[in-house]
Amino acid sequence: MSPQERRASVSLALVFAFRMLGLFMVLPVLATYGQQLEGATPLLIGMAIGAYGLTQAFLQIPFGMLSDRVGRKPVIVVGLLLFAAGGLLAAGADNIQQVIAGRILQGAGAIAAAVMALVADSTREQHRTKAMAMIGMSIGLAFAVAMVAGPVVARLAGLGGVFMSTSVLALVGIALVLLVVPTPQQTQRHRDAGIVGGALWPAISNPELLRLNYGIACLHAILMATFLAIPLALAREAGLPKEEHWWVYLAALLLSFFGMVPFIIYAERQRQMKRVLLGAVALLALVQPLFWLTEHSLPWLVTCIILFFVGFNLLEATLPSLLSKIAPAGGKGTAMGVYSTSQFAGAALGGMFGGWLFAHFGLGGVFVGCGLLALSWLAIGVTMREPPYVTSYRLAVSPERVQDAGLAASLLAVAGVTDVVIVADEAAAYLKVDSKLLDREALDRVAAPV
Protein backbone atom coordinates (compact mmCIF):
# COMPACT_ATOMS: atom_id res chain seq x y z
CA MET A 1 0.00 0.00 0.00
CA SER A 2 1.10 3.56 -0.68
CA PRO A 3 1.11 6.02 2.26
CA GLN A 4 -2.11 7.57 0.92
CA GLU A 5 -3.82 4.18 0.64
CA ARG A 6 -2.81 3.29 4.19
CA ARG A 7 -4.07 6.65 5.42
CA ALA A 8 -7.40 6.21 3.66
CA SER A 9 -7.85 2.62 4.83
CA VAL A 10 -6.97 3.24 8.48
CA SER A 11 -8.97 6.47 8.80
CA LEU A 12 -12.09 5.00 7.14
CA ALA A 13 -11.81 1.90 9.33
CA LEU A 14 -11.81 4.24 12.34
CA VAL A 15 -14.85 6.12 11.01
CA PHE A 16 -16.72 2.85 10.63
CA ALA A 17 -15.55 1.64 14.05
CA PHE A 18 -16.65 4.81 15.85
CA ARG A 19 -20.11 4.59 14.33
CA MET A 20 -20.53 0.90 15.15
CA LEU A 21 -19.18 1.51 18.64
CA GLY A 22 -21.87 4.15 19.11
CA LEU A 23 -24.60 1.81 17.89
CA PHE A 24 -23.60 -1.14 20.07
CA MET A 25 -22.64 0.63 23.32
CA VAL A 26 -26.35 0.87 24.08
CA LEU A 27 -26.96 -2.85 23.65
CA PRO A 28 -25.75 -4.21 27.03
CA VAL A 29 -27.28 -1.38 29.13
CA LEU A 30 -30.63 -0.35 27.68
CA ALA A 31 -32.59 -3.27 29.16
CA THR A 32 -31.45 -2.47 32.72
CA TYR A 33 -31.06 1.33 32.74
CA GLY A 34 -34.01 1.91 30.39
CA GLN A 35 -36.51 0.71 32.98
CA GLN A 36 -36.11 4.04 34.81
CA LEU A 37 -37.53 5.96 31.84
CA GLU A 38 -41.10 7.17 31.89
CA GLY A 39 -43.47 4.89 29.99
CA ALA A 40 -40.94 2.05 29.73
CA THR A 41 -42.44 -1.36 28.98
CA PRO A 42 -40.68 -4.54 27.81
CA LEU A 43 -42.02 -4.05 24.27
CA LEU A 44 -40.92 -0.40 24.08
CA ILE A 45 -37.48 -1.18 25.51
CA GLY A 46 -37.13 -3.90 22.87
CA MET A 47 -38.13 -1.39 20.21
CA ALA A 48 -35.53 1.07 21.52
CA ILE A 49 -32.82 -1.59 21.32
CA GLY A 50 -33.51 -2.45 17.69
CA ALA A 51 -35.12 0.75 16.37
CA TYR A 52 -31.96 1.92 14.60
CA GLY A 53 -32.28 -1.04 12.24
CA LEU A 54 -35.59 0.23 10.86
CA THR A 55 -34.24 3.38 9.17
CA GLN A 56 -30.91 1.72 8.49
CA ALA A 57 -32.65 -1.00 6.47
CA PHE A 58 -34.68 1.47 4.41
CA LEU A 59 -31.84 3.92 3.72
CA GLN A 60 -28.83 1.60 3.30
CA ILE A 61 -29.20 1.11 -0.47
CA PRO A 62 -30.52 4.63 -1.32
CA PHE A 63 -27.61 6.29 0.51
CA GLY A 64 -25.15 4.09 -1.38
CA MET A 65 -26.66 5.08 -4.72
CA LEU A 66 -26.78 8.74 -3.66
CA SER A 67 -23.05 8.68 -2.99
CA ASP A 68 -22.49 7.78 -6.66
CA ARG A 69 -24.24 11.03 -7.63
CA VAL A 70 -23.23 13.64 -5.06
CA GLY A 71 -19.95 12.17 -3.78
CA ARG A 72 -18.90 9.91 -0.94
CA LYS A 73 -17.80 12.43 1.66
CA PRO A 74 -20.98 14.57 1.66
CA VAL A 75 -23.14 11.48 2.20
CA ILE A 76 -20.87 10.19 4.99
CA VAL A 77 -20.78 13.57 6.77
CA VAL A 78 -24.56 14.00 6.59
CA GLY A 79 -25.03 10.43 7.84
CA LEU A 80 -22.73 11.04 10.81
CA LEU A 81 -24.54 14.32 11.60
CA LEU A 82 -27.85 12.42 11.68
CA PHE A 83 -26.25 9.83 13.94
CA ALA A 84 -24.94 12.53 16.30
CA ALA A 85 -28.34 14.27 16.36
CA GLY A 86 -30.04 10.98 17.25
CA GLY A 87 -27.62 10.45 20.11
CA LEU A 88 -28.29 13.95 21.47
CA LEU A 89 -32.05 13.41 21.23
CA ALA A 90 -31.82 10.14 23.16
CA ALA A 91 -29.32 11.56 25.69
CA GLY A 92 -31.81 14.19 26.82
CA ALA A 93 -34.73 11.78 27.00
CA ASP A 94 -36.81 11.29 30.12
CA ASN A 95 -39.23 8.89 28.44
CA ILE A 96 -38.82 5.76 26.37
CA GLN A 97 -40.57 7.23 23.31
CA GLN A 98 -37.88 9.89 22.95
CA VAL A 99 -35.16 7.24 23.19
CA ILE A 100 -36.89 5.28 20.40
CA ALA A 101 -37.02 8.45 18.28
CA GLY A 102 -33.32 9.05 18.91
CA ARG A 103 -32.44 5.50 17.91
CA ILE A 104 -34.50 5.80 14.72
CA LEU A 105 -32.65 9.03 13.88
CA GLN A 106 -29.31 7.34 14.58
CA GLY A 107 -30.19 4.59 12.12
CA ALA A 108 -30.94 7.19 9.44
CA GLY A 109 -27.20 7.77 9.15
CA ALA A 110 -26.80 4.73 6.88
CA ILE A 111 -23.26 5.32 5.63
CA ALA A 112 -21.89 1.79 5.28
CA ALA A 113 -22.24 1.56 1.49
CA ALA A 114 -20.76 5.05 1.00
CA VAL A 115 -17.77 4.20 3.21
CA MET A 116 -17.12 0.97 1.30
CA ALA A 117 -17.33 2.84 -2.01
CA LEU A 118 -14.87 5.47 -0.75
CA VAL A 119 -12.47 2.70 0.28
CA ALA A 120 -12.72 1.33 -3.27
CA ASP A 121 -12.11 4.80 -4.75
CA SER A 122 -9.05 5.32 -2.54
CA THR A 123 -7.22 2.02 -3.10
CA ARG A 124 -5.80 0.14 -6.05
CA GLU A 125 -7.27 -3.23 -6.98
CA GLN A 126 -4.36 -5.26 -5.62
CA HIS A 127 -4.70 -3.64 -2.17
CA ARG A 128 -8.48 -3.37 -1.90
CA THR A 129 -8.92 -6.71 -0.14
CA LYS A 130 -6.54 -5.57 2.61
CA ALA A 131 -8.44 -2.31 3.01
CA MET A 132 -11.78 -4.14 3.24
CA ALA A 133 -10.25 -6.52 5.79
CA MET A 134 -9.31 -3.50 7.94
CA ILE A 135 -12.95 -2.40 7.86
CA GLY A 136 -14.09 -5.88 8.86
CA MET A 137 -11.62 -6.04 11.75
CA SER A 138 -12.66 -2.58 12.92
CA ILE A 139 -16.31 -3.70 13.11
CA GLY A 140 -15.43 -6.76 15.19
CA LEU A 141 -13.21 -4.71 17.50
CA ALA A 142 -15.88 -2.01 17.87
CA PHE A 143 -18.46 -4.60 18.89
CA ALA A 144 -16.11 -6.06 21.52
CA VAL A 145 -15.19 -2.63 22.93
CA ALA A 146 -18.85 -1.56 22.97
CA MET A 147 -19.91 -4.56 25.06
CA VAL A 148 -17.43 -3.48 27.76
CA ALA A 149 -17.55 0.31 27.35
CA GLY A 150 -21.35 0.53 27.48
CA PRO A 151 -21.70 -0.73 31.08
CA VAL A 152 -18.63 1.27 32.21
CA VAL A 153 -19.92 4.57 30.76
CA ALA A 154 -23.43 3.87 32.07
CA ARG A 155 -22.02 3.33 35.56
CA LEU A 156 -20.21 6.68 35.44
CA ALA A 157 -22.70 8.84 33.54
CA GLY A 158 -25.97 6.93 33.24
CA LEU A 159 -27.85 6.03 30.08
CA GLY A 160 -27.76 9.66 28.91
CA GLY A 161 -23.98 9.58 29.12
CA VAL A 162 -23.88 6.50 26.86
CA PHE A 163 -25.94 8.27 24.20
CA MET A 164 -23.87 11.46 24.57
CA SER A 165 -20.75 9.35 23.99
CA THR A 166 -22.22 8.06 20.72
CA SER A 167 -22.68 11.65 19.51
CA VAL A 168 -19.10 12.55 20.43
CA LEU A 169 -17.84 9.51 18.51
CA ALA A 170 -19.85 10.60 15.46
CA LEU A 171 -18.31 14.10 15.60
CA VAL A 172 -14.83 12.56 15.80
CA GLY A 173 -15.75 10.53 12.72
CA ILE A 174 -16.74 13.71 10.87
CA ALA A 175 -13.40 15.31 11.76
CA LEU A 176 -11.59 12.26 10.39
CA VAL A 177 -13.57 12.38 7.12
CA LEU A 178 -12.94 16.10 6.58
CA LEU A 179 -9.36 16.37 7.85
CA VAL A 180 -7.69 12.97 7.52
CA VAL A 181 -9.39 10.85 4.83
CA PRO A 182 -7.82 11.71 1.45
CA THR A 183 -10.19 12.87 -1.29
CA PRO A 184 -9.79 10.50 -4.26
CA GLN A 185 -8.99 12.02 -7.64
CA GLN A 186 -12.06 10.46 -9.21
CA THR A 187 -15.19 8.65 -8.09
CA GLN A 188 -15.96 5.42 -9.87
CA ARG A 189 -18.73 2.88 -9.63
CA HIS A 190 -17.23 -0.31 -8.26
CA ARG A 191 -19.55 -3.25 -8.63
CA ASP A 192 -17.75 -5.19 -5.92
CA ALA A 193 -18.04 -2.33 -3.39
CA GLY A 194 -21.07 -0.31 -4.52
CA ILE A 195 -24.68 -0.92 -5.46
CA VAL A 196 -25.77 -1.20 -9.10
CA GLY A 197 -29.46 -1.02 -9.94
CA GLY A 198 -29.24 -3.64 -12.67
CA ALA A 199 -27.76 -6.19 -10.26
CA LEU A 200 -30.46 -5.69 -7.61
CA TRP A 201 -33.01 -8.25 -8.81
CA PRO A 202 -30.43 -11.06 -9.28
CA ALA A 203 -29.18 -10.35 -5.74
CA ILE A 204 -32.72 -10.52 -4.33
CA SER A 205 -33.88 -13.58 -6.26
CA ASN A 206 -30.79 -15.82 -5.94
CA PRO A 207 -31.85 -18.76 -3.68
CA GLU A 208 -28.42 -19.17 -2.10
CA LEU A 209 -28.20 -15.46 -1.30
CA LEU A 210 -31.76 -15.55 0.06
CA ARG A 211 -30.64 -18.18 2.58
CA LEU A 212 -27.80 -15.92 3.68
CA ASN A 213 -30.10 -12.91 3.93
CA TYR A 214 -32.52 -14.88 6.08
CA GLY A 215 -29.59 -16.07 8.18
CA ILE A 216 -28.15 -12.62 8.89
CA ALA A 217 -31.65 -11.31 9.69
CA CYS A 218 -32.12 -14.18 12.17
CA LEU A 219 -28.67 -13.64 13.67
CA HIS A 220 -29.25 -9.97 14.47
CA ALA A 221 -32.84 -10.56 15.56
CA ILE A 222 -31.49 -13.13 18.03
CA LEU A 223 -28.76 -10.71 19.14
CA MET A 224 -31.21 -7.90 19.89
CA ALA A 225 -33.76 -10.14 21.61
CA THR A 226 -31.10 -11.96 23.62
CA PHE A 227 -29.62 -8.71 24.85
CA LEU A 228 -32.99 -7.64 26.11
CA ALA A 229 -32.90 -10.75 28.31
CA ILE A 230 -29.23 -11.35 29.23
CA PRO A 231 -28.68 -8.11 31.22
CA LEU A 232 -31.91 -8.73 33.12
CA ALA A 233 -30.97 -12.36 33.79
CA LEU A 234 -27.58 -11.27 35.14
CA ALA A 235 -29.10 -8.58 37.37
CA ARG A 236 -32.39 -10.13 38.48
CA GLU A 237 -31.83 -13.87 38.45
CA ALA A 238 -28.07 -14.25 39.03
CA GLY A 239 -27.80 -11.24 41.36
CA LEU A 240 -24.93 -9.46 39.57
CA PRO A 241 -25.27 -5.64 39.92
CA LYS A 242 -25.66 -3.94 36.54
CA GLU A 243 -22.56 -1.83 37.23
CA GLU A 244 -20.45 -5.03 37.15
CA HIS A 245 -21.77 -6.53 33.91
CA TRP A 246 -18.77 -5.24 31.96
CA TRP A 247 -16.43 -7.96 33.21
CA VAL A 248 -18.82 -10.69 32.07
CA TYR A 249 -18.85 -9.33 28.53
CA LEU A 250 -15.09 -8.78 28.52
CA ALA A 251 -14.36 -12.34 29.64
CA ALA A 252 -16.96 -13.80 27.28
CA LEU A 253 -15.67 -11.92 24.24
CA LEU A 254 -12.02 -12.74 24.88
CA LEU A 255 -12.66 -16.43 25.44
CA SER A 256 -15.10 -16.66 22.53
CA PHE A 257 -12.51 -15.12 20.20
CA PHE A 258 -10.01 -17.88 20.95
CA GLY A 259 -12.82 -20.42 20.69
CA MET A 260 -13.91 -19.39 17.20
CA VAL A 261 -10.53 -18.91 15.46
CA PRO A 262 -9.80 -22.65 14.92
CA PHE A 263 -13.21 -23.11 13.29
CA ILE A 264 -12.65 -20.18 10.88
CA ILE A 265 -9.28 -21.63 9.87
CA TYR A 266 -10.81 -25.07 9.41
CA ALA A 267 -13.69 -23.69 7.32
CA GLU A 268 -11.42 -21.85 4.91
CA ARG A 269 -8.43 -24.19 4.64
CA GLN A 270 -10.39 -27.44 4.58
CA ARG A 271 -13.22 -25.90 2.55
CA GLN A 272 -15.86 -26.94 5.07
CA MET A 273 -17.79 -23.67 5.22
CA LYS A 274 -21.23 -25.25 5.27
CA ARG A 275 -20.38 -27.65 8.09
CA VAL A 276 -18.94 -24.88 10.28
CA LEU A 277 -21.85 -22.53 9.57
CA LEU A 278 -24.47 -25.14 10.47
CA GLY A 279 -22.55 -26.07 13.60
CA ALA A 280 -22.52 -22.45 14.75
CA VAL A 281 -26.27 -22.08 14.10
CA ALA A 282 -26.89 -25.31 16.05
CA LEU A 283 -24.82 -23.87 18.93
CA LEU A 284 -27.02 -20.75 18.97
CA ALA A 285 -30.14 -22.93 19.03
CA LEU A 286 -28.74 -25.05 21.87
CA VAL A 287 -27.52 -22.21 24.09
CA GLN A 288 -30.88 -20.42 24.22
CA PRO A 289 -32.73 -23.04 26.34
CA LEU A 290 -29.54 -23.35 28.42
CA PHE A 291 -29.87 -19.64 29.24
CA TRP A 292 -33.36 -20.35 30.54
CA LEU A 293 -32.38 -23.42 32.55
CA THR A 294 -29.29 -21.85 34.16
CA GLU A 295 -30.36 -18.20 34.59
CA HIS A 296 -30.21 -18.44 38.42
CA SER A 297 -26.54 -19.55 38.44
CA LEU A 298 -23.97 -16.87 37.62
CA PRO A 299 -21.14 -19.30 36.63
CA TRP A 300 -23.44 -21.24 34.30
CA LEU A 301 -24.94 -18.06 32.88
CA VAL A 302 -21.47 -16.70 32.10
CA THR A 303 -20.59 -20.03 30.44
CA CYS A 304 -23.70 -19.76 28.26
CA ILE A 305 -22.80 -16.17 27.32
CA ILE A 306 -19.34 -17.38 26.22
CA LEU A 307 -20.92 -20.11 24.07
CA PHE A 308 -23.36 -17.60 22.62
CA PHE A 309 -20.53 -15.29 21.58
CA VAL A 310 -18.55 -18.18 20.06
CA GLY A 311 -21.52 -18.95 17.80
CA PHE A 312 -22.39 -15.32 17.11
CA ASN A 313 -18.85 -14.16 16.30
CA LEU A 314 -18.20 -17.23 14.17
CA LEU A 315 -21.30 -16.53 12.10
CA GLU A 316 -20.60 -12.80 11.94
CA ALA A 317 -17.18 -13.60 10.42
CA THR A 318 -18.31 -16.49 8.20
CA LEU A 319 -21.43 -15.09 6.55
CA PRO A 320 -19.73 -12.18 4.67
CA SER A 321 -17.06 -14.60 3.41
CA LEU A 322 -19.80 -16.94 2.25
CA LEU A 323 -21.58 -14.09 0.49
CA SER A 324 -18.38 -13.16 -1.33
CA LYS A 325 -18.14 -16.72 -2.65
CA ILE A 326 -21.79 -16.99 -3.72
CA ALA A 327 -22.40 -13.52 -5.20
CA PRO A 328 -22.20 -13.50 -9.01
CA ALA A 329 -19.35 -11.73 -10.79
CA GLY A 330 -19.94 -7.99 -10.76
CA GLY A 331 -22.72 -8.31 -8.18
CA LYS A 332 -20.88 -8.53 -4.86
CA GLY A 333 -21.48 -4.89 -3.85
CA THR A 334 -25.20 -5.08 -4.58
CA ALA A 335 -25.51 -8.46 -2.84
CA MET A 336 -23.77 -6.96 0.20
CA GLY A 337 -26.22 -4.05 0.16
CA VAL A 338 -29.21 -6.43 0.25
CA TYR A 339 -27.45 -8.49 2.93
CA SER A 340 -26.90 -5.39 5.10
CA THR A 341 -30.52 -4.34 4.62
CA SER A 342 -31.61 -7.79 5.82
CA GLN A 343 -29.26 -7.51 8.80
CA PHE A 344 -30.72 -4.22 9.97
CA ALA A 345 -34.29 -5.30 9.33
CA GLY A 346 -33.59 -8.33 11.50
CA ALA A 347 -32.24 -6.07 14.26
CA ALA A 348 -35.40 -3.94 14.20
CA LEU A 349 -37.73 -6.94 14.25
CA GLY A 350 -35.63 -8.74 16.85
CA GLY A 351 -35.95 -5.92 19.35
CA MET A 352 -39.73 -5.89 19.01
CA PHE A 353 -39.88 -9.71 18.98
CA GLY A 354 -37.87 -9.93 22.20
CA GLY A 355 -39.89 -7.20 23.88
CA TRP A 356 -43.20 -8.88 23.01
CA LEU A 357 -41.99 -12.27 24.22
CA PHE A 358 -40.72 -10.81 27.48
CA ALA A 359 -43.99 -8.95 28.10
CA HIS A 360 -46.07 -12.12 27.60
CA PHE A 361 -43.79 -15.00 28.66
CA GLY A 362 -40.94 -13.54 30.71
CA LEU A 363 -37.22 -14.16 30.25
CA GLY A 364 -37.78 -17.84 29.51
CA GLY A 365 -40.08 -16.92 26.64
CA VAL A 366 -37.37 -14.74 25.08
CA PHE A 367 -34.79 -17.52 25.22
CA VAL A 368 -37.18 -20.17 23.88
CA GLY A 369 -38.33 -17.84 21.08
CA CYS A 370 -34.73 -17.15 20.05
CA GLY A 371 -34.00 -20.88 20.11
CA LEU A 372 -36.93 -21.55 17.78
CA LEU A 373 -35.74 -18.78 15.45
CA ALA A 374 -32.29 -20.37 15.32
CA LEU A 375 -33.87 -23.76 14.56
CA SER A 376 -35.79 -22.24 11.64
CA TRP A 377 -32.48 -20.94 10.26
CA LEU A 378 -30.89 -24.35 10.76
CA ALA A 379 -33.72 -26.03 8.82
CA ILE A 380 -33.23 -23.63 5.91
CA GLY A 381 -29.42 -23.78 6.11
CA VAL A 382 -29.35 -27.57 5.77
CA THR A 383 -30.63 -27.17 2.20
CA MET A 384 -27.78 -24.89 1.11
CA ARG A 385 -25.15 -26.18 -1.28
CA GLU A 386 -21.47 -26.24 -0.42
CA PRO A 387 -20.27 -22.87 -1.74
CA PRO A 388 -17.75 -22.53 -4.56
CA TYR A 389 -14.42 -21.57 -3.00
CA VAL A 390 -13.83 -18.53 -5.18
CA THR A 391 -13.21 -14.84 -4.61
CA SER A 392 -14.23 -11.70 -6.48
CA TYR A 393 -11.62 -10.05 -8.65
CA ARG A 394 -11.77 -6.84 -10.70
CA LEU A 395 -9.45 -6.74 -13.68
CA ALA A 396 -8.67 -3.47 -15.43
CA VAL A 397 -8.81 -3.90 -19.22
CA SER A 398 -7.50 -1.53 -21.88
CA PRO A 399 -10.26 0.44 -23.71
CA GLU A 400 -9.51 -1.27 -27.02
CA ARG A 401 -9.37 -4.75 -25.51
CA VAL A 402 -12.66 -4.35 -23.62
CA GLN A 403 -14.50 -4.03 -26.95
CA ASP A 404 -13.28 -7.46 -28.10
CA ALA A 405 -16.28 -9.78 -28.37
CA GLY A 406 -14.12 -12.78 -27.50
CA LEU A 407 -12.66 -11.33 -24.32
CA ALA A 408 -15.08 -13.08 -21.95
CA ALA A 409 -14.40 -16.47 -23.54
CA SER A 410 -10.64 -15.87 -23.38
CA LEU A 411 -10.84 -14.98 -19.69
CA LEU A 412 -12.96 -18.03 -18.91
CA ALA A 413 -10.30 -20.18 -20.57
CA VAL A 414 -7.71 -19.05 -17.98
CA ALA A 415 -7.14 -21.64 -15.26
CA GLY A 416 -9.02 -20.73 -12.07
CA VAL A 417 -11.54 -18.32 -13.62
CA THR A 418 -15.13 -19.52 -13.12
CA ASP A 419 -17.31 -16.50 -14.03
CA VAL A 420 -16.83 -13.29 -16.04
CA VAL A 421 -18.79 -10.07 -16.51
CA ILE A 422 -17.38 -7.41 -18.85
CA VAL A 423 -18.32 -3.79 -18.09
CA ALA A 424 -17.24 -1.66 -21.04
CA ASP A 425 -18.08 1.66 -19.34
CA GLU A 426 -15.56 0.91 -16.58
CA ALA A 427 -13.00 -0.72 -18.89
CA ALA A 428 -13.02 -3.62 -16.45
CA ALA A 429 -13.83 -7.30 -16.15
CA TYR A 430 -15.36 -8.68 -12.97
CA LEU A 431 -14.30 -12.26 -12.30
CA LYS A 432 -14.88 -15.08 -9.84
CA VAL A 433 -11.59 -16.93 -9.38
CA ASP A 434 -10.26 -19.89 -7.43
CA SER A 435 -7.08 -18.40 -5.97
CA LYS A 436 -5.47 -21.85 -5.58
CA LEU A 437 -5.82 -22.54 -9.31
CA LEU A 438 -5.58 -19.06 -10.84
CA ASP A 439 -2.87 -18.48 -13.45
CA ARG A 440 -2.27 -14.75 -12.89
CA GLU A 441 0.30 -14.39 -15.66
CA ALA A 442 -2.12 -15.84 -18.20
CA LEU A 443 -4.85 -13.53 -16.88
CA ASP A 444 -2.66 -10.46 -17.37
CA ARG A 445 -1.73 -11.58 -20.89
CA VAL A 446 -5.40 -11.93 -21.89
CA ALA A 447 -6.26 -8.45 -20.53
CA ALA A 448 -3.26 -6.72 -22.15
CA PRO A 449 -3.75 -4.62 -25.32
CA VAL A 450 -3.47 -6.60 -28.53
Q: pLDDT-based confidence at 401, cuts 50/70/90?
A: confident
pTM recorded for the entire structure: 0.89
Measured CA to CA, the distance from residue 426 to residue 189 in angstroms comes to 8
Highest mean pLDDT among 62-76, 153-167, 177-191: 153-167
Span(s) in the chain for CATH 3.30.70.100: 391-447
Neighbours of 360 (CB within 10 A): 12
Pick the CATH number of 200-389 from 3.30.70.20, 3.40.50.300, 3.10.290.10, 1.20.1250.20: 1.20.1250.20
Given this model, what pLDDT does residue 400 score?
74
Average pLDDT over residues 109-122: 83
CATH 1.20.1250.20 in the chain is located at 1-185, 200-389
Query: pLDDT of 289-322, one tens digit each?
Result: 999 888 888 899 999 999 999 999 899 888 888 8
Judged against a pLDDT cut of 70, whether residue 92 lies above it is answered with yes
Q: Is residue 413 over pLDDT 90?
A: no
Query: What is the pLDDT, as a whole number, of residue 197?
Result: 67
The 10s digit of each residue's pLDDT in 16-32 is 888 888 888 998 999 88
Higher per-residue confidence, 184 vs 247: 247
Task: Provide the pLDDT confidence category of residue 189 given band limits of 50, 70 and 90.
Answer: low
The type of residue at 114 is A
In this structure, of 158-167, 297-306, 334-343, 427-436, the range with the lowest mean pLDDT score is 427-436
- Compute the distance between CA of residue 265 and CA of residue 446 in angstroms, rounded to an integer: 33
At the fourth CATH level, the homologous superfamily of domain 1-185 is: MFS general substrate transporter like domains (1.20.1250.20)
What pLDDT does 450 receive? 58
pLDDT score for 138: 84
Share of the chain above pLDDT 90, in %: 36
pLDDT score of 449? 65
The most confident of the ranges 34-43, 141-150, 218-227 is 218-227
Model confidence at 95: pLDDT above 90: yes
Q: Which residue has the higher pLDDT, 258 or 91?
A: 91
Of 309, 109, 341, give the one whose Cα is nearest residue 222: 309
Q: Quick one: average pLDDT of 69-96?
A: 92
Which CATH code for domain 391-447? 3.30.70.100
* Cβ neighbours for 394, distance < 8 A, ≥ 6 positions apart: 125, 128, 190, 191, 192, 428, 429, 430, 431
pLDDT bucket at 373, cuts 50 / 70 / 90 = very high
